[in-house]
Structure 1
Amino acid sequence: MSADGAGWEAQRERSSAFWVGLLVWVLRRLGRAPARLLLWPTVAWFLIAAGSARRASRAYLRRVLDREPTLADVARHFFTFAACSLDRLLLTGDQGRQLTLNIHRSDAVLALFERREPALVLVSHFGSFEALRVIGSELHEMPLKILLDRQHGAIVTRLIEGLDPGFAASIIDASERGPTLVLALRDAIRAGYSLGVMADRVRGDEPSVCVRFLGAQASLPTSPWVLASALKLPVIAAFGIHRGGRVYDARFELLETAVDLPRADRDAALQACAQRYAALLEQQARAAPYNWFNFYDYWLTDRAAD
Structure 2
Amino acid sequence: MNQHWAQMGERGTLLGMQVLVWIQRHLGRWPFQLVLWPVMLWYFVSHGTARCASCAYWRRLEPALAAQPVRLYWRSFQHFMSFGNTLMDKVEGWSAPVEDARLSGDGVARFARALDGGQGGVVLVAHHGNLDIANAMAERHPSLDLLVLMHTRNAGKFNQLLEQVTGRPRPQILEVTEITPATAQMLTERIAAGGFVVIAADRPPVNGGRQRELTFLGAPATFPEGPFWLAALLRCPLYTLSCMRVDERFHIEFAEFDDTRQLQRKAREQWLADAMQRYADTLAVWVRKQPLQWYNFFPFWLADAHESDDT
Which range, TM-score by smaller chain?
A: 0.7 to 0.9
Residue 305 of structure 2 aligns to a residue whose secondary structure is helix
Q: Aligned residue for 1:243?
A: 246
Amino acid at match of 1:46: Y
Note closer, same or farther for the CA distance 1:217–1:37 as it changes in structure 2 (3 Å cut): same
Question: Residues 106-117 of structure 1 correspond to what in structure 2 (within 5 A)?
Answer: 111-117=113-119
Amino acid at match of 1:222: E
CA distance in 2, matches of 1:264, 1:167: 42
Mapped contact 2:97–2:136 kept (Cα < 8 A): no
* 1:238-278 Cα shifts (integer Å, max 9, x gaps): 1110223x321111122113376654454332221110000
Mapped contact 1:146–1:172 kept (Cα < 8 A): yes
Note closer, same or farther for the CA distance 1:39–1:271 as it changes in structure 2 (3 Å cut): same
Q: Is the aligned partner of 1:218 residue 2:215? A: no
* 1:55-102 Cα shifts (integer Å, max 9, x gaps): 111111122234315222112111111111221111121385598222
Amino acid at match of 1:212: T
Question: Residues 267-306 of structure 1 correspond to what in structure 2 (within 5 A)?
Answer: 267-303=269-305
Mapped contact 1:133–1:144 kept (Cα < 8 A): no
Residue 271 of structure 2 aligns to a residue whose secondary structure is helix
Q: Gaps (5+ residues) in structure 2?
A: 66-70
Q: Is the aligned partner of 1:178 residue 2:174? A: no
Q: Gaps (5+ residues) in structure 1?
A: none
Residue 125 of structure 1 aligns to a residue whose secondary structure is coil
TM-score for both structures, normalised by structure 1 = 0.87
Question: Residues 137-156 of structure 1 correspond to what in structure 2 (within 5 A)?
Answer: 137-138=139-140, 144-156=146-158
CA distance in 2, matches of 1:18, 1:98: 32
Q: Is the aligned partner of 1:15 residue 2:1? A: no
Note closer, same or farther for the CA distance 1:42–1:203 as it changes in structure 2 (3 Å cut): farther
Residue 152 of structure 2 aligns to a residue whose secondary structure is coil
Q: 1:38 aligns with which of 35, 39, 46?
A: 35
Note closer, same or farther for the CA distance 1:142–1:95 as it changes in structure 2 (3 Å cut): closer
Q: Is the aligned partner of 1:70 residue 2:83? A: no
Mapped contact 2:119–2:192 kept (Cα < 8 A): no
Residue 91 of structure 1 aligns to a residue whose secondary structure is helix
CA distance in 2, matches of 1:105, 1:156: 26
Higher deviation after alignment, 225-234 or 285-294? 225-234
CA distance in 1, matches of 2:112, 2:94: 25
Note closer, same or farther for the CA distance 1:118–1:176 as it changes in structure 2 (3 Å cut): same
C-alpha RMSD of matched pairs (Å): 2.8
Mapped contact 2:146–2:198 kept (Cα < 8 A): yes
CA distance in 2, matches of 1:15, 1:187: 40
Mapped contact 2:2–2:306 kept (Cα < 8 A): no
Note closer, same or farther for the CA distance 1:94–1:222 as it changes in structure 2 (3 Å cut): same
Mapped contact 1:99–1:248 kept (Cα < 8 A): no
Q: Aligned residue for 1:231?
A: 234
Q: Aligned residue for 2:211?
A: 208
Mapped contact 1:172–1:184 kept (Cα < 8 A): no
Shift, 1:37, TM fit: 3.0
CA distance in 2, matches of 1:175, 1:32: 37
> For this pair of structures, how many residues does the alignment match?
302
* 1:129-182 Cα shifts (integer Å, max 9, x gaps): 101101233256965332122212110111213345653443233242314533
Amino acid at match of 1:172: L
Shift, 1:104, TM fit: 2.5
Higher deviation after alignment, 141-150 or 202-211? 141-150
Q: 1:56 aligns with which of 43, 53, 56?
A: 53
Shift, 1:219, TM fit: 1.0
Q: Percent identity?
A: 26
CA distance in 1, matches of 2:141, 2:63: 38
Residue 240 of structure 2 aligns to a residue whose secondary structure is strand
Q: 1:126 aligns with which of 112, 125, 128?
A: 128
